Structure 1
Amino acid sequence: MSVLDAGQEDTPWQAKFPTPRTKEPGAITRDELLARFESGEKGGQDFLLVDVRRTDHEGGTITHSTNLPAQTLYYSIPSIYNLLQSGKIPLVIFYCGTSRGRGTRTAAWFNDFIEDQRKAGSESDDGFMIQSVILKGGIKGWVNAGEEYQKWMTAFEPDYWTQFADLRL
């Protein structure tokens, strides 16, 4: 054990943060996201697409994604919310490898924050509302859906993804 590791326990990263109140955030399918891309919509303009992977952020990412690792995202939620409000971006989509862990947790945290803002009366005067969802199947489901999806990736490395070819998401 190094000096840097002294005193650290093997607790999961999410143990430092509150359990989300939202149990099942909404979801968008890869087909729905692909349709948005094909219609000319862009991440950061029409929606915010957030890749919450950290150490497994390999093999490429979905085009127009912003990488905000789940392990550090919680404290940034108010700032992200304010950016979405001021930019009138109505949808934030979170994903990780499969969107069953970190993606779901971060979307739920964000949804909790949205609900807290509504209860506090902090929503927009013009009725603008933000929705927080996950990308069903995550990036592994996106890649395994085939070339039609893979062409919408940045820094795509096909060899990396062969290890996940048998996953059904």
Structure 2
Amino acid sequence: MASGNLVAIAPWHSVYPPPRDVELKSITRDAVLQMMKDSESVAAKDFLLIDLRRTDYEGGSIRGSINLPAQSLYPTIPTLYSLFKASGLHKIIWYCSSSRGRGSRAAGWFRDYIDKRGDNEMESLVLFEGIKGWATAGSEFVNWMNEYDAAFWEK
């Protein structure tokens, strides 16, 4: 390759179809925090937070969330849906750093699958402003994080 010639690399998600649902529902961090507080007093919760970060899974995560890197998500959606349904979950909340890329894409893909199944009980939501919005919103939110690293969020 001659010097100066750059090869364009397609983004990881280009091998999958774009989400059909472009009118995604989002949920605020205040609403999620309230759901987390409420779920402490009940035996089972009906929501799940999913952190889609992979190599940037730094600075901490929201307590109780699971890490499913976005790059491996699409092929696993049918299995995840079955697991979530069997667990009685009603709200699946996706987030990445800002929830404008991976978060919204994952929420859209999962919403498409829910629609395909004709499921009117489960919701696919994107966390407004993602983990960055959560981690920089003050101590009330930071207290609900695991492995919080203040220096990471000051960048």
Q: Is TM (by shorter chain) over 0.5?
A: yes
The answer to whether residue 67 in structure 2 is matched with residue 75 in structure 1 is no
Given the alignment of the two structures, is residue 146 of structure 1 paired with residue 138 of structure 2, yes or no?
A: yes
**Percent identity for Structure 1 against Structure 2:** 44
- In structure 2, the gaps of 5 or more residues are 1-6
Retained in 2: the 8 A contact 1:84–1:130? no
Amino acid at match of 1:23: V
Mapped partners of 1:153, 1:24: distance in 2: 29
Mapped contact 1:28–1:133 kept (Cα < 8 A):
yes
Q: Give the partner amino acid of 2:87.
A: G
The reply to whether residue 130 of structure 1 matches residue 122 of structure 2 is yes
Work out whether 1:25 is the aligned partner of 2:24. Answer: yes
Q: Is the 8 A contact 2:39 2:45 kept in 1?
A: no
Distance 1:91 1:46 in 2: 6
TM-score by length of 1: 0.82
Q: 1:9-48 counterparts in 2 under 5 A?
A: 10-41=9-40, 45-48=45-48
Q: Which amino acid aligns with 2:31?
A: E
Aligned length: 147
Instruction: Give the counterpart letter for 1:22 in structure 2.
Output: D
CA distance in 1, matches of 2:77, 2:90: 15
4+ aligned runs moved over 2 Å, structure 1: none
Contact 1:94 1:133 in 2 (8 A): yes
Asked if 1:157 is matched to 2:140, the reply is no
| Contact 1:25–1:108 (CA under 8 A) maintained in structure 2 | yes
SS, match of residue 17 in structure 2: coil
Which structure 1 segments of 5+ residues have no match?
1-7, 164-169
Describe the superposition over 1:119-154 as per-residue Cα deviations: whole angstroms up to 9, x where unpaired: xxxx4xxxx711000000100000111111001001
Q: Distance in 1 between matches of 2:142 and 2:88?
A: 29
Q: CA RMSD in A?
A: 1.7
Q: String of CA shifts for 1:50-94, please: whole Å, max 9, x gaps.
A: 000111110110000110011110011111110111111101000
Q: Indicate if the aligned counterparts of 1:24 and 1:104 stay in contact, CA closer than 8 A.
A: no
1:9 to partner: Cα distance: 6.0
Deviations 1:22-51 (A, max 9, x none): 113111100000111122358x84211100
